[in-house]
Amino acid sequence: MTIPFKANLDGKVAVVTGGGGVLGAYFSKALAESGAKVAILDLHQEPADKVAAEINEAGGKAVGIAANVLDKESLEAARAIVEKELGTCDILLNGAGGNNPKGTTDDEYYNAEAVKNNPELKTFFDLDPKSVGFVFDLNFLGSLLPSQVFGKGMTEKKGCNIINVSSMNAYTPLTKIPAYSGAKAAISNFTQWLAVYMSKTGVRVNAIAPGFLVTKQNEKLLLNEDGSYTARAQKIINSTPMERYGQPEELVGAILFLADEKAASFISGVVLPIDGGFSSYAGV
């Protein structure tokens, strides 16, 4: 991949959770191209190894590690491997997260008549508590626990930072996805809280809030077979002043900027929107 600029990350050790995913792979490769040694943590070994291999083949230094961000023992085992293979962590990028269909409604607005006509319609009142809890755990605990496991060692070094991944949903929740929106709002709040908590140690804590991207994971929800936008996708475009969707690589510049100690040395507690103006637009 081609990065927009090269940050000064030589000698740094970066840990990326969810590093085997679509966005995690972009983040991992960008950090490696800027000189960091990268540990790609993923729930499954195969995707972590794949990204690590691509980085190593390109001349970087990376290792793939299977780890569960909801299991502290698993994360501590991963930390031991990271420290053995690469050294102690300087940059933690909490990229693991996601949604669950059982935490999502079928309807945008509740309509009792529609429910009578379609008993199978999943409304807010039908959401599965365990699935809602899973979404909160994956996004919130999935950032909190790695921050505990890798963050403590950061307090003993200089020039370290943590980057979380929030979302536009944290600013204004989208219809249908209450669990995901609430979980990402928690991430933004946690980012600010942890920034203050870590402030006396020199560890900076920030987050990015991506807007709407078209990736292989969501293209079927946003695009019709002929390539045109679905009705929901068109609503998003209508609320985005730049009138387009973002690309995963357009998140990279913000990650590198926040990770670079010289570039962002006095920035902490910030949640940076990368959204084509979505969060600034009131619709009129």
Q: Judge whether 1 lies within some domain.
A: no
Average model confidence (pLDDT) across the chain:
95
Residue 243: band (very low, low, confident or very high) from pLDDT cuts 50, 70, 90: very high
Burial class (CB in 10 A: 0-12, 13-18, 19+), 177: buried
Kindly state whether residues 77 and 54 are assigned to the same domain.
Answer: yes
Q: Based on the structure, what is the number of domains in the chain?
A: 2
My answer on whether 38 and 62 are in the same domain is yes
Give residue-wise pLDDT tens across range 60-87: 999 999 999 999 999 999 999 999 999 9
Q: Which domain holds residue 19?
A: 13-101+132-211+247-273
- Residue 180 falls in the annotated catalytic set: yes
Burial 131-146 (b: 16+ CB within 10 A, else e): ebebbbebbbbbbbbb
Which pLDDT band holds residue 221 (cuts at 50, 70, 90)? confident
Which of 180, 197, 245, 281 is catalytic? The answer is: 180
125 within some domain: no
Q: Is the pLDDT of residue 8 over 70?
A: yes
pLDDT at 11: 95
Eight-class DSSP state of 158: S
As a whole number, mean pLDDT of residues 134-160 equals 97
- Determine the Cα–Cα distance for residues 109 and 227; give it in Å rounded to an integer: 27
217: confidence class by pLDDT, cuts 50, 70, 90 = low
Is the pLDDT score of 225 beyond 90?
no
Question: Is 36 inside any structural domain?
Answer: yes
* Interval 99-132: pLDDT, tens: 999 999 999 999 999 999 999 999 999 999 999 9
